[in-house]
Amino acid sequence: MEVERIKEQLGFHDLALVPAKRLDAMASVFMKRKEAGEMLSIEPEDINARLDPAGSLPSAKSIFVAFEQVPFTDVEPESKKGYGRLASFSRDTDYHLLLNEKMARLEEYLKNAYPDVEYYRQVDTGPLYERGFAAMTGKGYIGRNGSFIHSRLGSYVAIGLLLTNLEGGEACEMSGDCGDCRACVDACPGGAIEFTGILHPGRCRSWITQKRGELTEGERAVMADWIYGCDVCQMVCPKNKGIEAVYESRDPVHHICLDGLEEESNRSFKQRYGRLSGSWRGKKQWVKNAAYIRRYFNERKK
């Protein structure tokens, strides 16, 4: 199967094909996190569901791994009173929409070429550990901060999986490593990254901006005036220096005005912000975060 030709024809930023093998090497990582009580509420309870392609498609023999570069910058937007800052990956058209469109084209291509094809698609919202399967492509490696670092696109990539019952693909070794670099370890606002590669996702600013319920004083301090997401570990990563921007910028938004969020209906919120990936948790989440951000600015004046 000519994967490179399919990539060019369908407009993927990158595409690879690997066999649908279990990620057994990752099992101990998830088990340690589970035993430490550090699994996030949005993660599946069943660790096996993260590792075994057959759990999502029993007939799976191969996996198309698609990469979509997302918006990025090496400069944070300035802090503005009355506004919440957005992480760069959520400042433009939602990568879920863009990558799902391309994956749908891939499905159509395969159906035309192989009428008996069976498939399962996952773009972020699914049980499988996408970064683990991305590492099988040999296109990069999982960095100390837990991000997949693509050798050409950097770590600002969304990953999509299309499991199929077609034969094909070859698993490769991860390409690259972080060496003795500790840039992300030192820069992480919440201290979520250890040099040994152990991650504490509950301390991550990006997760804190998505967390349901009340925040602790420490979590509020980490969130500061960010209404969604965090870029810090990627902004300081030397592997992202000099990478080419191949995503199509459409209408970037750097700040969200806090005034009027409460008055938005769910429909108007979706119409206004639905194209941004940061809106996936809904209006209620942003209203809660906005209240914390107002307190943050008020406390800074004292």
Walk across the sheet containing 119-122 and list its strands.
14-19, 62-69, 157-164, 119-122
Rounded-to-integer distance, Cα 134 and Cα 176, Å: 13
CB 163 within 8 A of CB 56: yes
Only one residue has tokens 């993660």, namely 43
Q: Whose CA is closest to 60, among 17, 15, 105, 118?
A: 118
Quickly count: other Cβ atoms within 10 Å of residue 263's Cβ. Answer: 9
**Integer CA distances (angstroms), 78 to 61, 71, 96, 190, 234, in order:** 48, 17, 27, 20, 18
The tally of CA atoms less than 13 A away on the side-chain side of residue 37 is 0
Answer yes or no: 124 catalytic: yes
Which of 24, 94, 116, 124 is catalytic? The answer is 124
Region of 78 please: left (phi>0), alpha (psi -120 to 50) or beta: beta
Residue 213 gets which letter from DSSP? S
Q: Report the DSSP pairing between strands 119-122 and 255-257.
A: unpaired
Catalytically active residues, by annotation = 124
